[in-house]
Amino acid sequence: MSYLHLAIVSPLLFAIFIPFFHNGFRRVHTGWFALPLPILLFIYFLSFLPETMSQKTVMASLEWIPSLGMNFTAKVDGLGLLFALLISGIGALVILYSIYYLAKDKERLNHFYVYLLLFMGAMLGVVLSDNLIVMYAFWELTSFSSFLLIGYWYERERSRYGAQKSMLITVFGGLAMLGGIILLYVMTGTFSMTEIILSANQIFNHALFIPALLCILLGAFTKSAQFPFYIWLPDAMEAPTPVSAYLHSATMVKAGIYLVARFTPVFGESSVWFLLVGGVGLLTLIWGSFFAVKQTDLKAILAFSTVSQLGLIMSLLGVGAAALHFEALDDNIFTIAIMAAIFHLINHATFKGSLFMAAGIVDHETGTRDIRNLGGLIHLMPITFTVSLIGAFSMAGIPPFNGFLSKEMFFTAMIQVTEMNIFNLETWGILFPVLAWIASIFTFVYSMIFIFKTFTGKFQPEKLAKKPHEAPIGMLISPLILVSLVIIFGFFPNLLSNSLIAPAMAAILPNLLGAGDEFDVHIYFWHGPNLELLMTLGVMVLGYILFKTYPKWGNIYKRIPEGLSLNRLYDGLLKGSQTGSNKLMNRYMTGSIRSYLLYIFGFFIILLLGVLLRENAFKVDTSNVSDIGIYELVLVLFIAVGSISILFVKSRMTSIILLGSVGYTVSLFYVLFRAPDLALTQLVIETISVSLFLLCFYHLPKLRKLETRMRFRLTNAVISIGVGAVVTVIALSAHSNKLFDSISQYYVENTYVEAAGKNMVNVILVDFRGFDTLFEITVLAIASLGIFGMIKLKNRGKEG
């Protein structure tokens, strides 16, 4: 086990000790114990920077189930490291923030930090595992720990609802992803990501390519809250705000982004991938930004904004995959989309984290998150206001913050879509920049709403639960660090370009680089007066107008029927599947034995008849048949008359006697067919069972003693005739298809020689096949004890 493995699982191991710290040191906030770990991890992961910068990949393998090709292979490359740094870095900031956010004596802190560390370890495992099965295991662990965190205040109904919803949706996608991983294994014979990328060509021409692609994308889209699976994210806002900041803005929702980026070398060349990732991303972007404007809850705005920004990154990854088509170009301008995606991924983590924390502060200090009750907090909370302002301006794409730069690159990438001469993009590719531009306008609007509705306008202290004041300094440290990163990355974007972005690009597009090459990443502040700049200006102007006139046009949201929403669909599906399965159950599980017998016999007929017809096995061969004598005919007539009249007699007594007569005729058959032992036994047993029947008959309750003929039911008749016919046909065919001689010759020869007996039946029963007899007498013993128990012990329950 290398240090790298230890680093990945260290949060999981550390989580074990959290409850001891919590119970042992009551006076210290448990978060302080959890805080050092992510800081150490962050520093440890920083030490990998030089190696990834020189395009090296660090691999360490640990055997888990080698016979199945499942080994815990840790792999640090540019992409994995970028995510690991985000996870540990923001993890540390979030823990610091949560120390001040969660009260020491009111909350179950041990639960919180155990779940959070579980999540952190799982996330590190997802991004640093090379083996897909291991990655999947960690992936599900993120779903579970996120479920626990969303339902942290489990006494609230909405928390439980949100937790269940996110669980159902992400686990649904996770299972689909597992299917995709297995399909990839079928195609390549390995679970190793590195090897799968190497055999990308072979996969591309495989018949299972599209199913695997769809399964993997389903996993990525559900986790990253893409359309139409984004619905769990707004409901996940019931979690404590540090959780929302960590999971639902910076890390977990980016697991899907990670997955898409990771699989770009495998699937990226396909047009399906381009259309789905790019198209769904764009749709999510515009949908999320449009509905974010409608929200009145601060965290809901941020949730929809996260959905929309994830769509942005996703669409960039989709467009960037097109770069794989232009390998021949010397200066491949299409890689800019991937660059923009990575850059925006980092930027989004910084500004969204700080915005969530700011929203948490507002909630914590005023007691509400509803923007209709908030306003005029600018003088009361100047620092929070500054944080929000920078974060929101960066989100809206206003210079000089980092969001502006990635937004510009986003526009550049989208404009370039129209220049691609693949997939017919030269005609309808114009949709890409147009939709992106409209979405950006809405992004601008909700960013403005977020700041100005909260911090400016009229102060309404009567609507607030608490007397608002600035947050304690500890709560402000983390958001301040994050917004300072927003500014630093805004002014010095090239700090990131060589250290993080270029290695990550090399990991996403490994085939585009020659040996020793590097992606040339230069992020310029000033591009000159080009189309992108005009678009940004247009966004600001139009966005400002829309924000000012929002009260006038905001009504259109009310016109959108509530029934069309995807939440309604989800709830309907959930409820419908419950009531539907209930109805189905009630329909066929009637509780009546008659129906179950109908199913069993009906299935019996269909199955056997079907097999007979399919195999064409029906055959009647009379060459091997004995002559029929007059005695047999008479006896058959007796049995037929006896058993058919049972159906038509009125009295139960008569049917019992008829049944007895059938039994005695059977023993006559044994006599006729020379089976004296059977005949003797059959006679005695028939006598006993008829007397038992009579005994039961005598004890029938008086109430039900109606002497009626059996009712005729068509289904019963059809089924019973069918069963009879099928069995007859099978008996005839089986007799006609005898393949081997009987083994009875052995018994005939050896009964006396080996077993010193002359009654072959008895010798078989006690000697050759005595084992069966042993258990048959056991069956008899059990039956008698059962009867004894039923009758003698029947009142015991009532007395006791």
Residues lying near other proteins in the complex (CB under 8 A) are found at 676-677, 680-681, 684-685, 688, 692, 695, 755-759, 761-763, 765-767, 770-771, 773-774, 777-778, 780-781, 783-785, 787-788, 791-792
Of 598 and 765, which CB lies nearer to other proteins in the complex structure?
Answer: 765
Tell the smallest beta-carbon distance from residue 688 to other proteins (Å).
Answer: 7
Q: Which amino acid is at 645?
A: S
Nearest to 438 by CA among 341, 553, 308: 308
Of 63 and 677, which CB lies nearer to other proteins in the complex structure?
Answer: 677
Backbone angles phi, psi at 158, to 5 degrees: -65, -35
What is residue 192's three-state secondary structure?
Answer: strand
Tell the smallest beta-carbon distance from residue 653 to other proteins (Å).
Answer: 19
Residues 6+ apart with CB under 8 A from 103: none
CB 304 within 8 A of CB 291: yes
Helix axes 382-396, 402-417, angle to 10 degrees: 10
What is residue 108's three-state secondary structure?
Answer: coil
DSSP letter assigned to residue 229: G
Tell the smallest beta-carbon distance from residue 676 to other proteins (Å).
Answer: 4
Of 647 and 692, which CB lies nearer to other proteins in the complex structure?
Answer: 692
CB 471 within 8 A of CB 384: yes
Residues 6+ apart with CB under 8 A from 560: none
What is residue 579's three-state secondary structure?
Answer: helix
Return the structure tokens found at 238: 């019931």
Of 171 and 694, which CB lies nearer to other proteins in the complex structure?
Answer: 694
Q: CA-CA distance, 511 to 509, in Å (whole number)?
A: 6
Q: Which amino acid is at 681?
A: T
What is residue 524's three-state secondary structure?
Answer: coil
How far is C-alpha 719 from the geometric centre of its chain's CA atoms? 43
Of 630 and 748, which CB lies nearer to other proteins in the complex structure?
Answer: 748
Of 617 and 766, which CB lies nearer to other proteins in the complex structure?
Answer: 766
Of 367 and 757, which CB lies nearer to other proteins in the complex structure?
Answer: 757
Q: CA-CA distance, 130 to 566, in Å (whole number)?
A: 35
Of 426 and 772, which CB lies nearer to other proteins in the complex structure?
Answer: 772
CB 47 within 8 A of CB 109: no
Helix axes 78-101, 109-128, angle to 10 degrees: 170
Tell the smallest beta-carbon distance from residue 684 to other proteins (Å).
Answer: 4
Backbone angles phi, psi at 385, to 5 degrees: -60, -45
Nearest to 429 by CA among 322, 341, 533: 322
168 burial class (0-12, 13-18, 19+ CB within 10 angstroms)? middle
Of 2 and 687, which CB lies nearer to other proteins in the complex structure?
Answer: 687
Of 566 and 684, which CB lies nearer to other proteins in the complex structure?
Answer: 684
Tell the smallest beta-carbon distance from residue 164 to other proteins (Å).
Answer: 55
Q: CA-CA distance, 424 to 401, in Å (whole number)?
A: 36
DSSP labels, 419-464: T--STTHHHHTTHHHHHHHHHHHHHHHHHHHHHHHHHSS---GGG-
Return the structure tokens found at 465: 């639960």
Other C-beta atoms lying within 10 Å of the C-beta of residue 569: 14
Tell the smallest beta-carbon distance from residue 758 to other proteins (Å).
Answer: 4
Tell the smallest beta-carbon distance from residue 654 to other proteins (Å).
Answer: 23
Tell the smallest beta-carbon distance from residue 171 to other proteins (Å).
Answer: 51
Of 695 and 739, which CB lies nearer to other proteins in the complex structure?
Answer: 695
C-alpha distance across the termini of the chain, in Å: 61
Other C-beta atoms lying within 10 Å of the C-beta of residue 673: 10
Q: CA-CA distance, 89 to 249, in Å (whole number)?
A: 14
Nearest to 409 by CA among 444, 438, 433: 433
Tell the smallest beta-carbon distance from residue 690 to other proteins (Å).
Answer: 13
* Beta pairing class for 58-65 and 70-76: antiparallel
Residues 6+ apart with CB under 8 A from 536: 397, 404, 407, 408, 411
Of 27 and 699, which CB lies nearer to other proteins in the complex structure?
Answer: 699
Of 1 and 781, which CB lies nearer to other proteins in the complex structure?
Answer: 781
Tell the smallest beta-carbon distance from residue 799 to other proteins (Å).
Answer: 17
Tell the smallest beta-carbon distance from residue 749 to other proteins (Å).
Answer: 17
Tell the smallest beta-carbon distance from residue 660 to other proteins (Å).
Answer: 16
CA distances from 221 to 136, 260, 282, 304 (A): 15, 9, 13, 15
What is residue 762's three-state secondary structure?
Answer: helix
Of 607 and 787, which CB lies nearer to other proteins in the complex structure?
Answer: 787
Return the structure tokens found at 371: 């923007």
Tell the smallest beta-carbon distance from residue 773 to other proteins (Å).
Answer: 6
Residues 6+ apart with CB under 8 A from 396: 403, 443, 444, 447, 448, 539, 543
Tell the smallest beta-carbon distance from residue 708 to other proteins (Å).
Answer: 27
CA distances from 122 to 11, 61, 117 (A): 8, 18, 8
Tell the smallest beta-carbon distance from residue 699 to other proteins (Å).
Answer: 9
How far is C-alpha 476 from the geometric centre of its chain's CA atoms? 37
Tell the smallest beta-carbon distance from residue 763 to other proteins (Å).
Answer: 7
Of 207 and 753, which CB lies nearer to other proteins in the complex structure?
Answer: 753
Tell the smallest beta-carbon distance from residue 789 to other proteins (Å).
Answer: 9
Of 613 and 774, which CB lies nearer to other proteins in the complex structure?
Answer: 774
Tell the smallest beta-carbon distance from residue 666 to other proteins (Å).
Answer: 16
Backbone angles phi, psi at 424, to 5 degrees: 60, 25
H helical segments located in 589-675: 593-615, 630-648, 652-672
